[in-house]
């Protein structure tokens, strides 16, 4: 143990409804003085060595570090209901910390994933003493990551982890079998535990007032806090961080706040900056950075009353890792101002099925008729999304060569590249399609096709047909009618090297990352009956299906 600090365990912090929350407070030794405070609120239980290791660099740097169990978890009173009480509890905790005799009144918050999102919800209430935030791998608003109207089947794994007051071992459940269960509503019973939080969401399968308590990405104009935004290109909640950085730099409450944002995007998964290698891809010796140095520099700037700490004139900066080239680069906005938005049109002779088909991508649009590509989507045999079973990390730079052997996966590729091509920014597919069903899904995945045959997943997305006009406007489709679908495929920063090809997968499932559409048009999540749908993808002159890539001039 470290002799340079002392810890006050289980300090009770009162909140407005009369309950108390439990906090462990880490103090620097030495001269007693009022110090800035770093607050970490977590549902993952504060009493462990990982939290102790998190506190050490801050205490050594002259901060008081406070680790708190959120309501209903660990040693805190109350009942845990994800996100419902966190904003008010966060506000009350910050203001309580500000008046303690050892506090300077300058409070910064830190946390990743759930502890990241609840910082945003707290910031919406504008606690007067909240001066800065460090938010890692933040979940987005409802239905941004999973635009299906339902939680991802893998979300149940997380709910199992945080059931009760202490963390539950996820590995004791055979999740691959659980994910197969229908109807989705009762999948919790198949996992061995009735879960009210899982079931509550099935009564609100579109964006309505019920979800407003969890939304923050439509309210950036209320937030007046400098934020360090952190994520990785393979974070399974990656889409939120660039959205938040862009939202705060363009819509934050004041010009000063808009100019006081910073983003770090590395070649990492959800557990960011822990390894330089994901799967078979080694991102090189520069992939890991001095994250503690980033943390303390950020809080020094905003929480310490020094000339360096109070300067707010610095431009908003994004520092991003360019994969393929494996280098870091500084940028000043997102998406990048110099982006050349380039359409890569889908083509085939009507047989783009599998990697053995004739699908191609070209910057030239079809000039006349091209036959549509056809495949059958059978919910009993969904296209797999490659991932570990638990929700600790969903997907990575995996090899999809085996998946692309299936005839229900359409594959479109460019010619072999004669020079490096950088794709950095949000990825989008505009798709013209028909289905024999009243509701169905369409999925898309961006692939780097290596000369060796390795097919590296970069990013992906999906659209549920009934939500094609928005998550608040569900409407079933007419079988056989051509609709235009827009699929947001999240973000990447990849140099496709000369000799590689740019690839696109189109299908109708990515299981279990997204639940299977049963193709019947029935209420979502509550039925078990399904039918096979015949899907057609159009790419003729009248229906110019295209992958829109953010090309960065080299």
Say which of 76, 103, 113, 391 is annotated catalytic. Answer: 113
According to DSSP, the β-strands at 533-538 and 421-435 are antiparallel
Measured CA to CA, the distance from residue 209 to residue 227 in angstroms comes to 27
Instruction: Give the pair of three-digit tokens for residue 373.
Output: 């590509």
Say which of 129, 155, 229, 270 is annotated catalytic. Answer: 270
Measured CA to CA, the distance from residue 426 to residue 445 in angstroms comes to 13
DSSP character string of 247-285: HHHHHSSSHHHHTSEEEEEES--SSTTS-SEETTEE--T
Residues 6+ away with beta carbon under 8 Å from 38 = 58, 63, 64, 65, 66, 107, 108, 109, 110, 299, 303
Could you tell me the end-to-end alpha-carbon distance of the chain, in angstroms, rounded to an integer?
Answer: 50
The dihedral region occupied by 111, where left means phi > 0, alpha psi between -120 and 50, and beta the remainder, is: left
Long-range own/partner contacts, residues 310-318 (CB < 8 A, 24 or more apart): 312/226, 312/256, 312/259, 312/260, 313/259, 314/259, 314/260, 315/259, 316/245, 316/249, 316/258, 316/259, 316/260, 316/261, 316/262, 317/262, 317/263, 318/245, 318/262, 318/263, 318/264, 318/265
Say which of 75, 86, 235, 441 is annotated catalytic. Answer: 235
Longest dimension (CA), the chain: 80
Nearest to 243 by CA among 137, 338, 122: 137
Q: What would you report as the CA-atom Rg of the chain, rounded to the nearest whole angstrom?
A: 24
Instruction: Give the pair of three-digit tokens for residue 34.
Output: 């009022």
235 carries an active-site annotation: yes
Nearest to 85 by CA among 69, 96, 98: 69
Phi, psi of 359 (to 5 degrees): -75, 140
Instruction: Give the pair of three-digit tokens for residue 339.
Output: 């982006």
User: In the β-sheet with 20-28, what is the strand arrangement from edge to edge?
Assistant: 5-14, 20-28, 64-69, 35-42, 103-112, 130-136, 227-232, 261-266, 317-322, 327-331
Residues 6+ away with beta carbon under 8 Å from 265 = 230, 231, 232, 233, 241, 242, 318, 319, 320, 321, 493
Instruction: Give the pair of three-digit tokens for residue 409.
Output: 């996966």
Measured CA to CA, the distance from residue 19 to residue 165 in angstroms comes to 16
Instruction: Give the pair of three-digit tokens for residue 160.
Output: 């199992």
**Active site residues per annotation:** 113, 235, 270
């Amino acid at each position: 143990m470290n002799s340079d600090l002392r810890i006050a365990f289980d300090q009770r912090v009162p909140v407005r409804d009369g309950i108390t929350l439990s906090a462990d407070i880490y103090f620097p030794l030495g001269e007693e003085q009022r110090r800035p405070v770093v607050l970490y609120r977590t549902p993952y239980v504060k009493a462990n060595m990982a939290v102790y290791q998190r506190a050490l660099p801050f205490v050594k740097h002259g901060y008081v570090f406070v680790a708190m169990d959120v309501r209903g978890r660990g040693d805190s009173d109350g009942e845990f209901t994800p996100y419902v009480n966190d904003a008010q509890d966060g506000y009350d905790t910050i203001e309580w910390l500000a008046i303690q005799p050892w506090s300077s009144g300058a409070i910064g918050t830190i946390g990743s994933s759930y502890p990241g999102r609840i910082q945003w919800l707290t910031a919406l209430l504008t606690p007067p003493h909240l001066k800065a935030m460090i938010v890692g791998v933040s979940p987005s608003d409802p239905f941004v990551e999973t635009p299906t109207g339902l939680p991802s089947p893998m979300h149940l794994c997380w709910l199992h982890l945080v059931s009760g007051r202490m963390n539950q071992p996820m590995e004791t459940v055979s999740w691959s079998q659980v994910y197969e269960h229908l109807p989705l509503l009762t999948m919790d019973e198949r996992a061995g535990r009735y879960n009210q939080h899982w079931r509550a969401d099935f009564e609100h399968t579109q964006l309505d007032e019920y979800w407003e308590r969890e939304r923050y990405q439509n309210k950036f104009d209320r937030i007046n806090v400098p934020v360090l935004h952190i994520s990785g290109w393979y974070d399974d909640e990656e889409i939120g961080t660039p959205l938040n950085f862009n939202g705060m730099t363009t819509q934050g409450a004041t010009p000063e706040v808009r100019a006081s944002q910073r983003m770090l995007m590395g070649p990492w998964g959800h557990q960011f900056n822990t390894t330089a290698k994901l799967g078979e891809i080694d991102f090189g010796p520069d992939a890991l950075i001095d994250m503690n140095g980033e943390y303390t520099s950020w809080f020094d700037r905003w929480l310490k009353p020094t000339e360096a700490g109070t300067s707010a004139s610095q431009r908003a900066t994004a520092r991003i890792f360019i994969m393929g080239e494996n280098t870091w680069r500084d940028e000043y906005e997102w998406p990048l101002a110099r982006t050349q938005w380039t359409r890569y049109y889908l083509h085939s002779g009507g047989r783009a099925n599998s990697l053995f088909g004739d699908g191609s991508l070209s910057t030239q649009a079809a000039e006349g008729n091209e036959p549509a590509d056809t495949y059958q989507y059978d919910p009993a045999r969904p296209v797999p999304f490659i991932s570990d079973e638990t929700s600790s990390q969903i997907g990575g730079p995996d090899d999809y060569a085996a998946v692309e052997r299936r005839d229900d996966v359409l594959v479109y590729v460019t010619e072999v590249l004669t020079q490096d091509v950088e794709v950095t920014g949000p990825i989008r597919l505009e798709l013209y399609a028909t289905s024999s069903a009243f509701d169905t899904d369409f999925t898309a995945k961006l692939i780097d096709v290596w000369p060796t045959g390795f097919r590296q997943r970069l990013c992906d997305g999906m659209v549920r047909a009934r939500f094609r006009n928005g998550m608040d406007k569900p409407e079933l489709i007419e079988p056989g009618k051509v609709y235009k679908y827009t699929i947001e495929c999240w973000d990447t920063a990849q140099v496709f090297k000369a000799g590689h090809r740019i690839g696109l997968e189109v299908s109708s499932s990515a299981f279990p990352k997204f639940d299977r559409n049963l193709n019947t048009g029935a209420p979502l999540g509550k039925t078990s009956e399904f039918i096979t749908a015949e899907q057609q993808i159009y790419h003729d002159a009248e229906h110019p299906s295209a992958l829109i890539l953010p090309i960065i001039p080299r």
